[in-house]
Structure 1
Amino acid sequence: MQAASGMGAQRLFANRHAKIAWFGKTDKYFFDLDTVREPFDEVIKKAYMKDKRLCPESVEKGQ
């Protein structure tokens, strides 16, 4: 199946996620996202806070 001419994924989807893989010896694991977040710098944080679609608490936590 081919995409229509000029309708590539670059025009349709924003890159707003990262792929993370982790492995464990058992099914009992715990992943604490908040401990691996990196804080946004003040310029980026200020710009993201203007976007009403984003949760302010998540912006404060970082990426």
Structure 2
Amino acid sequence: MAHEELHLNLRNLTLEDYDQLKNLMDTVYDDIGGAWPKPTIEALINQFQDGQICIEDSGE
């Protein structure tokens, strides 16, 4: 795949990402309760933003 075809972006997680993060966590971690609650994610972002990263694929 050519570099121009890649649409990945590494960035810090924001609270606006929660809905997509929740959907992903509910799918991946269904057997252990799914996504963490929004206040937990918000606390992680507020306390250690540099440690909360995500990779966007074509803007998602």
Alignment TM-score > 0.5, same fold: no
Higher relative contact order at CA 8 Å, sep ≥6: structure 1 or structure 2?
2
Larger Rg: 1
TM-score (normalizing by structure 2): 0.28
Structure with the largest fraction of helix: 2
TM-score of the two chains, using structure 1 as the length reference: 0.27
